[in-house]
Amino acid sequence: MKKQNICFTIIVLILAAMPILLQLGFITASSTVLFIGKCIAFAIVAMGLDLIWGYTGILSLGHGLYFALGGYAMAMYLKLQATGGQITDFMHIGGLTELPMIWKPFLNLPLSIIMIFVIPAIVSGLIGYFIFKNRVKGVYFSIISQALTWAAYSIFIALSPYTNGNVGITEIQTIVGSIRGDKNRMNMFIVFYGALIIMVLTYALCRFSTSTKFGKLLIAIRDGENRTYFSGYQVSHFKTFAYVLSAVIAAVAGAVFVNFNGSITPSQMTISYSITMVIWVAVGGRGTIIGAIIGAFIINLCEYNLSSGSLVDIWQYIIGLIFVITILFFKGGLVGLVREQIPTFISKLKNKSHAETPVKSKKGA
Amino acid sequence: MNNTPVLEIKNVSVCFDGFYALTDVNANVKRNSIHFFIGPNGAGKTTLLDIICGKTKPTEGNVIYNTQDGHSVRLTGLPEYQIVRHGIGRKFQVPSVFKSLSVKDNMLLSLKGHKSIIDCIFGKPSKEEFEHIDYVLERVGLKERTDICAGTLAHGEKQWLEIAMQLVQKPEIIMLDEPAAGMGKLETFKTGEILKDIKKECTIIVIEHDMDFVRQTADIVTVLHEGKVLTEGLVDEVLANETVQAVYLGRSKAVS
């Protein structure tokens, strides 16, 4: 368990060095740092997903919904900052003459930040309460979570006067102003380190909650939900709570993401985007918080480096293949590989070389 | 000592899509006894346990639970976790322990009380509770296995752990669905001795097929057949009953 914290510290130190490397000229493009900022956001949502999937055993294929809800909440605030509180172009085109009610809370920052937490908490709380109360589980839950994401996606596109439909909310800066260009580099660093701090806090939160009895109960629910009911726990409340926690973490990640991405579109809400998140967790190693982080970074770094070249067309196939191989052969992902499979493989090899001599002598006899 | 039965099963019938799994079953369970329900496959034994613990709702009838201090609780209609909180625990047929957690964590999660989310996040078990866990593990013979992952325990040990998980809740009634299934002779005997030890503190309801095990441990036996109570009484009486031998013992002899 301590190894996990050491590993996390190393990752954080490497990340913290990125802006310094840029400043010193080892990294030439500032877009690389922006991309790593996005990866930090992905790592945060992966941790949230790991809580609900890796620990509690509930596979949500719709976390893109919460990621996007947080992203939109942030983007709406930033957009209003850019327009000076006036109504936006797409609202004009949509036939609106004044700022709609749902945009009003996003005029000020504290309220916007509260919204980033409250909106996904309410949505996931309602969804979780009814689904888990009726004991919907397994693949049925996964399908419902997909359907809900799809429904939300359709709603966001249909309500284009309020959300700008397919295009999403674009042309926005960050929470501290512009980060483009050399003269705004300081702003970029502030946003980057801010994101890093949020990632550390999320990690601490996840580690704390999984180390308590609550975390053990989540594992208990995964191993034997029935047994947990018969140990006197109101399991549906626990599942709902874990689901809300994970949704809020996803929303925070979405809000961080918008700062680096400069826009949010409904494509962040799609099913395929949500499934990509699941792949990060699976490849990294579910049921270990550090695995989720590692998975999010590795998959995204691969995508960043590979999909720009000739591999762009087949990238989706490669990632699909990696996912299938992980699920079939490496259930514990990369972390499981390092922690269990390689040690058992080595000890097997040792046993084999030990065992070989007596086996031969037996044959001879 | 309170002489009212701890559990009264009154006119319970269950109908699954037109098939009556249980028809008008009546039974009283005496306090601090080991009460066996036996019967051929499909007699409705497990269904009866499901009804007592709230997993299945009866079509008709009631299950009444009488507490030590003379209160009566109607169990029918309560959700299972509340029935557990009243002190009625259940062990399943297939051993179902939390296999990724250690033996100790399995026990910690089973402790009485502290079942809310807040308690689980911020609560810490007290020293007495740890001592109680050690005490219970010692009684079932798992003291040395405390830190082992429950999934790696042997089959018999898993059964004992699950019994221990019921016991650590300080229950009034423990229900065991085939506790000796898949066990060897020695293990079965040990399980019987554990049960006899436990019954000083609570009432035990058991479903079992193993007749040696029944003879070893049972106080009272109720025979179910095709969803109805065939007979009820002391072990020797029941096993000597000709009808019982015909439907159950005779048949199992013929099979073996």
A363 alpha-carbon distance from chain centroid: 56
Positive or negative torsion for Cα B183, B189, B195, B197: negative
Per-residue pLDDT at A365:
36
Per-residue pLDDT at B67:
86
Domain count, chain B: 1
Provide mean pLDDT across the span A135-143.
91
B2 assigned to some structural domain? no
Provide mean pLDDT across the span A139-146.
94
**What ipTM does the predicted assembly reach?**
0.84
B1 assigned to some structural domain? no
Cβ-defined contact of B123 to A213 (cutoff 8 Å): yes
- Distance (Å) from the C-alpha of residue B90 to the closest C-alpha of chain A? 7
Amino acid at B111: L
pLDDT tens track for B160-211: 999 899 889 888 899 999 888 888 888 899 999 989 888 888 899 999 888 8
B166 assigned to some structural domain? yes
Q: What is the dihedral of CA A349, A353, A358, A359, to 10 degrees?
A: 60
Say how far apart CA A12 and CA A320 lie, in whole Å: 28
- Measured between its terminal Cα atoms, the distance across chain B in Å is 44
- Distance (Å) from the C-alpha of residue A243 to the closest C-alpha of chain B? 13
Q: For residue B54, is it left (φ>0), alpha (ψ between -120 and 50) or beta?
A: left
B210 assigned to some structural domain? yes
Per-residue pLDDT at A356:
57
Q: Say if residue B233 is exposed, middle or buried (CB neighbours under 10 Å; 0-12, 13-18, 19+).
A: middle
B26 assigned to some structural domain? yes
pLDDT tens track for B224-241: 888 888 888 888 888 888
Provide mean pLDDT across the span A121-141.
93
Length of chain B (residues): 256
B119 assigned to some structural domain? yes
Chain A interface includes B149 (CB < 8 A): no
* Of the partner residues B85, B105, B119, the one whose CB lies closest to the CB of residue A216: B105
Does residue A192 surpass a pLDDT of 50?
yes
Cβ-defined contact of B169 to A227 (cutoff 8 Å): no
Does residue B253 surpass a pLDDT of 50?
no
DSSP E strands in A205-281: the ranges are none
A contact set with B (CB within 8 A): 209, 212-214, 216-217, 219-220, 222-224, 226-235, 237-238, 241
Does residue A197 surpass a pLDDT of 70?
yes
Spatial contact of B170 and B135, defined as CB atoms under 8 Å apart:
no
Say how far apart CA A45 and CA A207 lie, in whole Å: 15
Provide mean pLDDT across the span B245-256.
56
Cβ-defined contact of B120 to A237 (cutoff 8 Å): no
Name, in order, each residue with C-beta under 8 angstroms of B168's C-beta and a sequence gap of 6 or more.
Answer: B107, B110, B111, B112, B132, B133, B136
pLDDT tens track for B101-157: 999 999 999 988 888 888 888 888 889 999 999 999 998 888 888 899 999 998 889
Cβ-defined contact of B100 to A219 (cutoff 8 Å): yes
Domain that holds residue B141: 7-255
Cβ-defined contact of A226 to B92 (cutoff 8 Å): yes
Per-residue pLDDT at B250:
54
Chain A residues with CB-CB distance to B120 below 8 A:
212-214, 217, 238
pLDDT tens track for A155-191: 999 999 999 989 999 989 888 888 887 788 889 999 9
Provide mean pLDDT across the span A226-238.
90
Name, in order, each residue with C-beta under 8 angstroms of A248's C-beta and a sequence gap of 6 or more.
Answer: A48, A66, A117, A120, A121, A124
- Distance (Å) from the C-alpha of residue A216 to the closest C-alpha of chain B? 7
Chain A interface includes B96 (CB < 8 A): yes
Which of the residues A56, A227, A286 would you substitute to probe the B interface, choosing the one with the greatest number of B C-beta atoms within 10 Å?
A: A227
User: Which CATH number is B211's domain given?
Assistant: 3.40.50.300
pLDDT tens track for A279-304: 999 999 998 999 999 999 999 998 88
Does residue A358 surpass a pLDDT of 70?
no
